[in-house]
Structure 1
Amino acid sequence: MAASGISTGNSIRTRLYDLLRRAREIKRSTAIDPPLQVSALVDDDEPLIAPPEGDKEGHNFAVESAAKAILYAILGSNRIEDPSFVTVWDLLDILQYCGDRNLCSPQLVLLLLEELLDSLSIDGCRTALGFLESRREVLFAARSQNKDLVILRLCNELLRRLSRAEDPVFCGRVYIFLFHSFPLGDKSSVNLRGNFHTENVTTFEDYLNTSAAVGGEMQIDVGDPGESVKEEAKAGETSFVPAGEEKASKEITPTMDVDELYPVFWSLQHSFSNPPRLFEEDKFKEFKRGLEATLAKFKEVPKVVQAGDSARKKGGQSQSDGNYDEFASAFNPKYLTSRDLFKLELSDLAFQRHILVQALILIDFLLTLTEKSKSKPYYQGAQKAMQYSFTLREQDTEWALGIKNSIANYLQDGPDGKSYYRMVDTVLSRDKNWVRWKMENCHSFTRDRVPADNFVESKDGAKRAVVGRKAPKPMRSALGMQFLANTDLEKGLSQLKHHERFKKPSPGNYEERIETIQNGPQEGLSEGEKRMAKDKERSVTWRKHRLACKDNLSSYDDKRLKGADASTGDNTAPTDPEDRDAVPQEEHPSVEDQRPDQQDQVTTDMAAE
């Protein structure tokens, strides 16, 4: 059986060498791209390598052993800069093709890449990462847990070898590859328990603590050269004034000497790396005092902006106060804590912003522990590890909001201060949403596909919603016909045919109607009824005027009408609701509005007109 396994491994190795020889004939380029067209290496009916028979695990192990032997042989005789190193990329493309078709282990290509990165220098790893970036979509087309574990281990091992200060761009490439390789809601990169990076310890020269005023006396510079005063630093007292309030005293705010500030300043890093230590009252008072002293010193010292790399090579030019050169955003994950460099670091604007952004992050963490924030539903449902028993007091909350506002105002000064703070504020706002998502147990961002049945049903419903509806029924006639219901049908029809209906009314007929309206009962009527009666009178008066102006205006004399015209001053058409719709039908008032003894006269007027 052992001999059979050896024979299988040798045959697979021979087959892989043969495929690599064919690959050199197909792919003439010696670069990583374009990828090898593996399907062109064999005919359609020819398998790439022998498929597993029976023992699949043994077959995968044989393929892995043969592939590693070929990889080690190539690495032993070729450098990554050599054109012949393209054989490694071809081998990885072939194994990726086989893994997608279950001819070998799917994660075998990642295992070989892990071996490759371990054997290369940092410069060689840059080239190998380029292969990963170019094949990312193919590598993760079929996801599996084994693949995810290998890629996490591979990238983490690579990051441990890199220096964030010397290779920040390369580190960024690795992180971007990880972000693109895993879904946004994947929990592999989420710190569910909210652990802090307590291993990040900042060491400084502790012997200077003896000269610092921590709970004792300290030397305070008040601005006059050669003069100094001694003040007792009372525990818990601060010189900070919240935003919106002014100090009653107009004295100069004292600031610490550089030697006194040195241990106080670097002690802030202990709180930045482990915020829960501030739950102790003494530690919190120490932090408040140190942050206030740091911000006051930043405002006092002259600002120095680092020049660009080219300017530093020419002599390290830098401008202070208001004369700034182009700002170079130098990234330093870990600053030096030497006492000799401290005074220079305090004046560096990039250094100041680095420290103050750390302070903003910590203050935002403290503000999530107020009584109001802890009463929110998402905090109540968070994991126990992220629910702290500590609650920030009201006076400490006011201090945190005030110092946060002061830091925000200070960050907006200097070159590109507005845009810089806007960027910082945007990042911190999104981080709050990220923290809330973690506290809500990382709900998935993706949604399930809509079932085909639901899609068809929705599509049919949308079609039914836009189908033309039936025409609405015609509206009832505005002219009331209720008078026909009180008479026989024949009598009603004969009234409609009566010759008096086709006779043109005279102005005298309208005069009688006006007198009837005026002589009607006025007592007991509401304001609305009186207004309706007045409008009806004006309507009938206007009709009478219209008839009179056509035939016998000269013989028609109505002093009352002239008086009405003079009082109203309006010769326009009436606003009677009965006459508002159409002018040609003004003489057709609603029969239902008339008294029974006037209905015959109304029908006669309508017929005549």
Structure 2
Amino acid sequence: MAVSDIEPARVMTLRLQELLQRAAKVKKSTSVDPPLQISELTGENELLLGNTVEDKDMHKSIIERAARNIFYDILAVTPIHHPSFVQIWNLLDILQYCGDRDQCYPGLVLLLVEELLDSQSIGGCRTVFDFLESRREVLIATNSKNKDLVILRSCNELLRRLSRAEDAVFCGRVYIFLFQSFPLGDKSSVNLRGEFHVENVTTFEDFPRTSDQVEDRMDVESDRKDEVINEAEGAKSDEDALKSSSTPDPTAQQDLKTLDIDTLYPIFWSLQHAFSNPIRLFDEEYFGQFKKGLEATLAKFKEVPKVIQATSPEGKRGLKRKLDDGYDEFASTFNPKYLTSRDLFKLELSDLEFQRHILVQSLILLDFLLSLTEKLKKKVVAQKALQFNFTLGDQDAEWASGIKNSIANYLQEGLDGKFYYRMVDTVLSRDKNWVRWKLENCQPIIRDRVSIKDILGAKIGAQKAYGSKKTRSKSMGLDFKFLSDNETASSIEKLKNPDRYIIPQAESFARDVTGIDLDLEMATTEEEKENLGDAKASKTWRALRISSRDKLSLFDRVEDSKSLESLFQPETVDEATGEESALTAADSRDAIPQEHDRPEGNKRPEQRSQVMETAAE
């Protein structure tokens, strides 16, 4: 450092120390929250850190040097949970305020936070992350482009230190902070090359069991003998037990297909190789082994009894080490890394959480395979890095769809099975959209804001379209003067004709249908037949509509338009059986009574009055 730079740096250090002393009086709390009120430290027009030199870049460098000196001095002697550590939070708030106003480097506060995370344990990192979460909106409000790289680097480094088994909730907080800090369509967290996590290697015992295998078989045989004795004691008689054992059981035949635990052990754990690197399935021989292994695993899951892990009354699991006060560890987020010991394999197979973990991995891999069918590959034009030469055949696609449905049905079993599968299916469905967005080279998904001019124009247009309208002189642009002309006055009288508004008889439409049938037999052209068919359908529908008022119970006689006249056939009483019967369709036309053949009960009122007068005379 030059001699000329020593005095400005010393002045800036004293200035920052003075501001920290004022901050201690303004902020009485010793915790991360609430943030420091910077407006109470200085006046309205006063610069917080002043101007020590004329060169602006040199002034920012001096502020950074002074801030780091104070930061390291406090950090070296003060633990993070000590009340005096509040000076670090106040210093970061001051630097954040100055960075937004271009008095220092905008990313200086995040650089100091990154070093603070590196210097703390996992418990201390939780406290530092409380600071980041409470100031997130302020940190990314201005000059966010200069801070993105620091945020991404510090969060990724923190995730490498955390254990996904013991710090699952903390990992979730870090991911949520990243999602909220970066735009939705940002490419920083996208795996553009489609690289798989091949470093996640699962090691297991690939050698067969020798000495313990005999003892396990002896234990299994003794357990089976005990089960047979218990069944015999509960049976009514020995003969009934023999009869029941002699009958074939379809479930027993299905159990014979499942592999024993020792045989399934290497097959089961070898599935993890395909989960970490799905490209291996492009080999036909390896794909055949994977299919057999997945089918055997699902069959074994269905066979073994289910064991649900119990939780404490508070809904928390008992952890080996006590966590800090105020740290909440939910039972549903406890995600241990499963061990591959052969001795624990039998217990793991019965664990419902373990089964769901494996089956969800299978669903993810099956969705990847189904996206490589010939039909789906034509729909999406992927970038070169994500284009695979492999195409899933029709037979393999049918198998993948079938095993996927079987897994889905199995996950829905149990008390909370429906809810669990709906959650998994929702996540996988949304993940398909992200995969397609990545295949299409991450096109922009954020639209520009609508301008105020367009918004006002849309409002005015909506008001004009749905506002109150005055009565127009002409209705719909039609001129009705022709109704008042003397020549057309008779047309108004025609509208008063009773035939225009009196409902006709249904029998008239039935007779019209009969006439149309005769015309259809004589029709020669296709156009004439089509017109007559439309007229027949119209007449038939009108006849049925009118008849539905008083003859709805007779509609079961109507099979098609040819038997329409059966609705108007008079009902007769069979003297032998005493039941009502209708005339046949052949006699339907002759059975319709004419006016002079009607009996007295069926004659019109005027005809009935004439008959009564004649009888009175």
TM-score by length of structure 1 reads 0.69
Q: Deviations over 1:49-68 (max 9, x none)?
A: 12475533322222111111
Alignment CA distance shift 1:345-1:41 (3 Å) = same
Q: Deviations over 1:370-423 (max 9, x none)?
A: 1121121xx2x2211112111111111111111111111111122311111111
Q: Deviations over 1:268-313 (max 9, x none)?
A: 0000000011000011011011111111111111111111146998
Q: Which residue of 2 aligns with 1:97?
A: 97
- Assess if the C-alpha contact under 8 Å between 2:168 and 2:335 holds in 1: no
Q: Which residue of 1 aligns with 2:386?
A: 386
Q: Deviations over 1:312-338 (max 9, x none)?
A: 989x9xxxxxxxxxx964643531111
- Residue aligned with 1:472, SS: coil
Whole-Å separation in 2 of the counterparts to 1:313 and 1:60: 50
Q: How does 1:444-463 map to 2 (within 5 A)?
A: 444-463=444-463
- Residue aligned with 1:290, SS: helix
Whole-Å separation in 2 of the counterparts to 1:312 and 1:468: 66
Following superposition, the deviation at residue 81 of structure 1 comes to: 1.3
- Residue aligned with 2:335, SS: coil
Alignment CA distance shift 1:128-1:284 (3 Å) = same
Whole-Å separation in 1 of the counterparts to 2:299 and 2:435: 31
Decide which moves more: 5-14 or 81-90: 5-14
Alignment CA distance shift 1:471-1:313 (3 Å) = closer
Whole-Å separation in 2 of the counterparts to 1:484 and 1:36: 91
Alignment CA distance shift 1:209-1:197 (3 Å) = farther
**Is residue 2:76 matched to residue 1:76?**
yes
- Assess if the C-alpha contact under 8 Å between 2:36 and 2:93 holds in 1: yes
Give 2:433's aligned amino acid.
N
- Residue aligned with 1:259, SS: helix
Q: Which residue of 2 aligns with 1:468?
A: 469
Q: Which residue of 2 aligns with 1:351?
A: 354
Whole-Å separation in 2 of the counterparts to 1:142 and 1:169: 29
Alignment CA distance shift 1:371-1:225 (3 Å) = farther
- Residue aligned with 2:343, SS: helix
Following superposition, the deviation at residue 47 of structure 1 comes to: 1.1
Q: Which residue of 2 aligns with 1:159?
A: 159
Q: How many aligned positions are there?
A: 457
**Is residue 2:10 matched to residue 1:10?**
yes
- Residue aligned with 1:189, SS: coil
Q: How does 1:146-185 map to 2 (within 5 A)?
A: 146-185=146-185
Whole-Å separation in 1 of the counterparts to 2:20 and 2:118: 23
Q: Deviations over 1:525-561 (max 9, x none)?
A: x999xx9xxxxxxxxxxxxxxxxxxxxxxxxxxxxxx
Alignment CA distance shift 1:419-1:66 (3 Å) = same
Q: Which residue of 2 aligns with 1:481?
A: 485
- Assess if the C-alpha contact under 8 Å between 2:38 and 2:97 holds in 1: yes
Alignment CA distance shift 1:78-1:467 (3 Å) = same
Whole-Å separation in 1 of the counterparts to 2:143 and 2:293: 50
**Is residue 2:339 matched to residue 1:336?**
yes
Q: Which residue of 1 aligns with 2:295?
A: 292
Whole-Å separation in 1 of the counterparts to 2:311 and 2:393: 45
Alignment CA distance shift 1:250-1:297 (3 Å) = closer
Give 2:265's aligned amino acid.
Y
- Assess if the C-alpha contact under 8 Å between 1:71 and 1:88 holds in 2: yes
- Assess if the C-alpha contact under 8 Å between 2:74 and 2:85 holds in 1: yes
Whole-Å separation in 1 of the counterparts to 2:172 and 2:137: 19
Following superposition, the deviation at residue 77 of structure 1 comes to: 1.8
- Residue aligned with 1:340, SS: coil
State percent identity of aligned pairs: 63
Whole-Å separation in 1 of the counterparts to 2:209 and 2:268: 11
Give 2:129's aligned amino acid.
L
Whole-Å separation in 2 of the counterparts to 1:44 and 1:313: 53
Alignment CA distance shift 1:339-1:283 (3 Å) = same
**Is residue 2:55 matched to residue 1:25?**
no
Alignment partner of 2:368 out of 365, 377, 386: 365
Following superposition, the deviation at residue 129 of structure 1 comes to: 0.5
- Assess if the C-alpha contact under 8 Å between 1:110 and 1:151 holds in 2: yes
- For structure 1, the residue ranges without an aligned partner over 5 or more in a row are 212-220, 227-246, 317-326, 486-525, 532-565, 571-609
Q: Which residue of 1 aligns with 2:128?
A: 128
Following superposition, the deviation at residue 458 of structure 1 comes to: 3.3
- For structure 2, the residue ranges without an aligned partner over 5 or more in a row are 212-219, 226-249, 321-329, 490-518, 520-531, 540-601, 607-617
Q: Deviations over 1:416-449 (max 9, x none)?
A: 1111111111111111111112122223332212
Whole-Å separation in 1 of the counterparts to 2:29 and 2:488: 102
Following superposition, the deviation at residue 346 of structure 1 comes to: 0.8
Whole-Å separation in 2 of the counterparts to 1:569 and 1:361: 83
Q: How does 1:406-555 map to 2 (within 5 A)?
A: 406-465=406-465, 466=467, 468-469=469-470, 471-473=472-474, 476=480, 479-483=483-487
Aligned-residue RMSD, C-alpha: 3.7
Whole-Å separation in 2 of the counterparts to 1:88 and 1:64: 15
- Residue aligned with 1:403, SS: helix
Q: Deviations over 1:554-576 (max 9, x none)?
A: xxxxxxxxxxxx98879xxxxxx
Q: Which residue of 2 aligns with 1:255?
A: 258
Whole-Å separation in 2 of the counterparts to 1:408 and 1:254: 21
Alignment CA distance shift 1:264-1:36 (3 Å) = same
- Residue aligned with 1:192, SS: coil
- Residue aligned with 1:111, SS: helix
- Assess if the C-alpha contact under 8 Å between 1:307 and 1:328 holds in 2: no
Q: Which residue of 2 aligns with 1:141?
A: 141
